[in-house]
Amino acid sequence: MTPSQTVGPYFAMRLPWDEGPFVVPEGTPGAVTIIGRLYDGAGNIIPDGLIETWQAAPDGRFAHPDDPRGATPGGYQSFRGFGRCPTAPDGSYRIVTLKPGPLPTPDGSIEAPHLDVSVFARGLLDRVVTRMYFPDEQTANAADPVLCSIAAQARRATLIAVPEPEGELRFDIRLQGDRETVFFDV
Amino acid sequence: MTADVSTSLITPEIGKLVLPSYERPAGLHPPLDFDGYRSTALRHPQQPLVLLPHRLTEVTGPLLGDGLITPTDSDLTTQHGGEPQGQRIILTGRVLDSDGRPVPDTLIEIWQTNAAGRYRHAREHHPAPLDPNFDGIGRAITDAGGRYRFVTIQPGSYPWGNHYNAWRPAHIHFSLFGRAFTQRLVTQMYFPGDPLLPLDPIFNSVPDEKARQRLIADFDIELTQPEWALGYHWDIVLRGRDATVFE
């Protein structure tokens, strides 16, 4: 297998593209906007990171051959499931998407709506992976097998977005430090 | 935008959900905390990683295809009116799973310096010349056999300030998706015989010697075209499906 190497400081030459942050076009009915900042262990913002998101459609399905249910025919045609946004000079990113549905699992439990999130940056020799959950899904979150696998309540809270006054969802990512985000071995 | 979330959930039509699982290559990737690479100090998580089982979100992934690609995307020497400076190279290989299956129709993105070791990037201040005929960016989609092919220019070395007299060996950055979130890979390809390789903390952050060598392309005289370009061959192997583990 081929090992990982850092994305380095110059990925912005190639990886960002104009539609990258738009999992659905801006203004799509029901769209949610996720905003946040990326921080290092000293609490400083990281202006040269890349955030990628991957998620189910609002019906909890994936347009992918390894989802045995497949996508709902005619369902979410402008929805790409994938988002990519470089962090700005102030460490911020922004993704416009639809809220995913809950997901079945092989053991019969139900995963709460979530996005898988990858973070790449200079100084990260491999990507780190986290998940973003939704603050208005308290019941589903309480039953989510991944959240339940994290013993400390305070750590679990790092995975749940925070509603902003203007309606966006804030998901800050802290690579290190007191409020370090939970990262996964994927 | 038609489906109704409340009625769409699962089960009757699929019965028990069966998903593939991908192998977890212990000790393959560099540690996130690596003393020789200074920027890791404040950027590596210190809490242990939490095991994430491979479920629907992890075994699927974006299938980004032809809509993104134009013919000049894979020939970095023809993206401007004139020929770029430097040694022309042909770079080809296959994207495979670790179980040997080719990964077809998958997007590869690359970026690199020009022949002088200079990136075309606003925050790059190495006093080497830009080349008006070279951007150093490419994209390709693998064919049915998992093959890709780029034509580009041999990149240069450049200083990077990590330590006294620190120079990166020549390399090309690669970004790959595979077919599942678990297979996402960003890495760098190096050139054989580069004297900077033994001195480079990023290359040497890969703990296993054999895995490190897999980051180095092979010079290929068969692929080399007379009077025109040197040929290099580099296969990229992504995580394969785990045949034994079943949730």
pLDDT tens sequence across B144-170:
999 999 999 999 999 999 999 999 999
A184 lies in some domain: no
Token pair for B57? 């979100």
A160 lies in some domain: yes
pLDDT tens sequence across B8-36:
454 445 568 999 999 999 999 999 999 99
Show Cβ contacts of residue B57 under 8 Å, excluding neighbours closer than 6 positions. A54, A55, A56, A62, A103, A111, A114, A116, B181
pLDDT at B76: 97
A6 lies in some domain: no
Q: Per-residue pLDDT averaged across B213-220, rounded? A: 98
**pTM, to two decimals:** 0.95
Catalytic residue among B173, B212, B214, B233: B173
**Total domain count, chain A:** 1
Q: What is the ipTM for the molecules in this complex?
A: 0.97
A16 lies in some domain: yes
pLDDT tens sequence across B165-205:
999 999 999 999 999 999 999 999 999 999 999 999 999 99
Kindly indicate the confidence band of residue B243, based on its pLDDT and cuts at 50, 70 and 90: low
Active site residue B158: yes
Report chain A's mean pLDDT, rounded to a whole number.
96
B86 lies in some domain: yes
Do B17 and A68 make contact, defined as CB atoms within 8 angstroms?
yes
Question: Strands A82-86 and A49-55: what pairing?
Answer: antiparallel
Show Cβ contacts of residue A48 under 8 Å, excluding neighbours closer than 6 positions. A9, A12, A86, A87, A121, A122, B123
E-strand ranges in B134-229 read: 137-141, 147-153, 158-159, 167-168, 171-176, 185-190, 218-219
Closest chain B C-alpha to A165 CA, distance in angstroms? 25
Share of chain B above pLDDT 90, in %: 85
DSSP summary character for residue A67: S
B246 lies in some domain: no
- SS3 assignment, position A61: coil
A155 lies in some domain: yes
**Total domain count, chain B:** 1
Q: Residue B144's domain spans which residues?
A: 5-238
Q: How many CB pairs under 8 A join A and B?
A: 264
Do A104 and B9 make contact, defined as CB atoms within 8 angstroms?
yes
* Residues A58 and B5: beta-carbon distance below 8 Å: yes
**Gyration radius of chain B over CA positions:** 21
Kindly indicate the confidence band of residue B244, based on its pLDDT and cuts at 50, 70 and 90: low
The amino acid present at B112, given as its one-letter code, is Q
Do B188 and A48 make contact, defined as CB atoms within 8 angstroms?
no
pLDDT tens sequence across B84-118:
999 999 999 999 999 899 999 999 999 999 999 99
CATH number at residue A162: 2.60.130.10
pLDDT at B8: 44
B212 lies in some domain: yes
Kindly indicate the confidence band of residue B7, based on its pLDDT and cuts at 50, 70 and 90: very low
Chain A residue nearest residue B4, CA to CA: A59
pLDDT at B14: 55
What are the 10-residue block averages of pLDDT along chain A, 186 residues in total? 97 94 96 98 98 97 94 88 98 98 95 98 98 98 98 96 97 97 98
Report the candidate in A102, A169, A107 with the shortest Cα–Cα distance to residue A141: A102
B243 lies in some domain: no
Catalytic residue among B22, B158, B190, B232: B158
d(Cα B193, Cα B126) in Å, to the nearest integer? 24
A4 lies in some domain: no
pLDDT at B224: 98
CATH number at residue B176: 2.60.130.10
Q: Residue A34's domain spans which residues?
A: 11-174
